[in-house]
Structure 1
Amino acid sequence: MTTGLSGTGTSLLELPVPDRKNDLGAARIVSVGTATTENSYSQRELLDIFNITDPKVRSVFLNSSIERRFLTIPPRDADGNCIPEAQGELLAKHERLSLDMGARAVRTCLENAGLDLADIDYLCCTTTTGFLVPGLSARLIREMGILPRTSRVDVVGMGCNAGLNALNATASWAVANPGKVAVMLCVEACSAAYVIDGTMRTAVVNSLFGDGAAAIVLIADSPDTAYAPADVPAGSGGPRILGFASQVITEALDAMRFDWDDAHGKFSFYLDPQVPYVVGANAEQVVDRLLDGAGLRRSDISQWLVHSGGKKVIDAIRVNLGLTRHDVRHTIAVMRDYGNLSSGSFLFSYERLLQEGVTSAGDYGVLMTMGPGSTIETALVQW
């Protein structure tokens, strides 16, 4: 479930043919590691566990293109019914699951890079499924034994698009601190963000999300190591991050939101039925802006790693960008096996791409996430 690769840096305006003389000034992804919670369930198993009998709700679950998801089910009473969890209990669950999954993902990505906890210079933690003060980064530093001097930042509440927001910040830190080790962690305990009732609104949300964490190591080359492969961490060949492009769809600001639900006394996620079409209609302009900055066209992109936001979202992105099902094969596979993992979904797809072993030096890739705002985030990478 883990793969580690690394590469060298370049600039956004680089020509399609890689040039070692221009390798300075970009962060590269050295390795990736993922983790989930303990138990996975099929959609039919979840319908039975939560005693969902409404035909319309069952149809939402069974036609989601999801086969299994990792979740942590609430405790049950003597009759086998799930006991409702108060907001305080959900926050405690978020902390417990996030620390466990997050620590395992971080350890794995470090191991794949041939690094230790003591090598971490910067830690960026991203989550939407709970709120902690001090943040998850500080708690991981204490629980894992990461050096207290480690610089850190927490990206909280941005939603499914947040992995690329955090990657932008982490890559910028790496470039400003060449040769130092930056770790970015996306951890989402979606089991801690559920509302259980019989409404269609919650049925759509409850049919989608699963627990998962993904971490990557980023390093930017420094002048004294850029031309010395022996000094580069093991597993050379990973992609350089060339640039980012973002689009906030302001007219759809409330189409995806996580806010307080007075009826249930807890936070609840809302998805507007029009989200797939709104996101799809805006995908072209942000992707083309990303590629225009590097003098590229969509046909120049060998690998597309799109957030597994849901069947309709994936289809809308694919149709509007003119992509094939093969182009989004890893997005579809992650959706099938894990559901929507929120901010870390695209890194699970990235891991599968590396395991596939089909990338070649010079290949370009586009990373794409979508979430509340409504927002589309993109990044351009090159192997």
Structure 2
Amino acid sequence: MTTDTAAPELLTEEHVPAARHAGAPGFLTPFAPRIVGVGTAAAGTVYSQPDVLDAFGITDPKIRSVFLNSAIDTRHLTVPDPDEDGVRVPEPQGDLLDKHKRLTIEMGTEALRACLKRAGAELSDLRHLCCVTTTGFLTPGLSARLIRELGIDRHCSRSDIVGMGCNAGLNALNVVSGWSAAHPGELAVVLCAEACSAAYAFDSTMRTAVVNSLFGDGAGAVALMSGPDAGPPGAVEGPHVLKFASCIIPEALDAMRYDWDRDLDRFSFFLDPQVPYVVGAHAEIVIDRLLTGTGLRRSDIKHWLVHSGGKKVIDSVIVNLGLTRHDLRHTVGVLRDYGNVSSGSFLFSYERLLDEHVTRPGEYGVLMTMGPGSTIETALVQW
């Protein structure tokens, strides 16, 4: 099953009456939202993969091989301190939920402030805050807690996307792009905050080894604004968001999940070993759907920003879309330096692209995330 939504072509002010008269498809306003800022943050201690193996006394050769062949050098993790015997005792679920709340607020605050600074904006400029997380559950949600903690205007509208997984950053961008288009000149932020250390389950099984070798703590925020002069003064020039396309693979519904482990008495991630190949096999389908009606071919896409889901996921996307490792250099670099930081991973890659200063007006980019469902989400952007 596939779905997509498209914003109208970029229009100038003189086109507004004609667009409204013609009933332009997609958003209600003729102005495609523009990305005007990005910021990231990571929490906890930086661990190398051998550091993690040593910290938890992991000696099984097969499990050590999973860690050491992950294409990950370092990750930010917040793991329990060793007890008097030098053993790191797994935390009960209640403590993990407390950790999730603390880390997502800390990282979320840092990423949000960095994003607004890059956008040349202040907290007082914020009109909509959408928070994304999967690694814990909060009611009231993260958005309400951040509004209180940071003194954001109580009239700021908000939304929370919980439990969608690593793909959820683009699900949120899709929804908030619609809000932005309907509120030209007003600033919106999507904040993805994932305390993956609050979702770890330590035992001797290969199931948890795959997860524990991959995820790290991190948060990413992206600011949007629509209108003929989108962006506060001094904002970094970013791309317009033109179109979204998604593909859910129902037969792989249970391939990626975060559910209750009765043996460990806590929530636990599960990743099926076939996930990379399932994702890769459907990547071409959703990209073709994204480009349908645009007149663009894959070769016209200059910049590719893909979720750092793991070495095999990246390799599978490269093979199935006919890309190079240079095309996905930011994704590879984020995986190497942070691991998989779930829903915010693609924002870490986008930030690295901006820091290269290589984008040029008129160039196109594709954002791609994947996660439980199994789901692939994509967006087409233009500088």
Asked if 1:266 is matched to 2:266, the reply is yes
Residue identity in the other structure for 1:291: L
1:92-241 paired onto structure 2 within 5 Å: 92-222=98-228, 225=229, 232-241=232-241
1:1-383 paired onto structure 2 within 5 Å: 12=7, 14=9, 24-222=30-228, 225=229, 232-383=232-383
Residue identity in the other structure for 2:127: D
CA contact (8 A) 2:37 2:236 kept: no
- Specify every segment of 5 or more residues in structure 1 that has no aligned partner in the other structure, as ranges: 1-10
Counterparts of 1:232 and 1:375 in 2: how far apart (Å)? 34
* Aligned position for 2:26: none
Which segment drifts farther, 105-114 or 333-342?
Answer: 105-114
- Specify every segment of 5 or more residues in structure 2 that has no aligned partner in the other structure, as ranges: 1-5, 17-29
Measure how far apart 1:21 and its partner are. Answer: 6.2
TM-score by length of 2: 0.93
Counterparts of 2:139 and 2:293 in 1: how far apart (Å)? 39
Measure how far apart 1:13 and its partner are. Answer: 5.7
Residue identity in the other structure for 1:157: G
Instruction: Quickly say closer, same or farther: Cα 1:333–1:60, change in 2 above 3 A.
Output: same
Measure how far apart 1:292 and its partner are. Answer: 1.2
CA contact (8 A) 1:365 1:380 kept: yes
* Aligned position for 1:6: none
CA contact (8 A) 1:13 1:293 kept: no
Superposition RMSD in Å: 1.6
Counterparts of 1:237 and 1:100 in 2: how far apart (Å)? 27
Aligned length: 365
Counterparts of 1:276 and 1:252 in 2: how far apart (Å)? 12
Instruction: Quickly say closer, same or farther: Cα 1:354–1:293, change in 2 above 3 A.
Output: same
Which segment drifts farther, 18-27 or 42-51?
Answer: 18-27
Counterparts of 1:154 and 1:274 in 2: how far apart (Å)? 30
Residue identity in the other structure for 2:102: R
Counterparts of 1:272 and 1:315 in 2: how far apart (Å)? 16
Counterparts of 1:293 and 1:269 in 2: how far apart (Å)? 38
Instruction: Quickly say closer, same or farther: Cα 1:145–1:13, change in 2 above 3 A.
Output: closer
Instruction: Quickly say closer, same or farther: Cα 1:22–1:282, change in 2 above 3 A.
Output: farther
Counterparts of 1:285 and 1:19 in 2: how far apart (Å)? 33
Counterparts of 2:381 and 2:368 in 1: how far apart (Å)? 11
SS state of the match for residue 83, structure 2? coil
CA contact (8 A) 2:44 2:217 kept: no
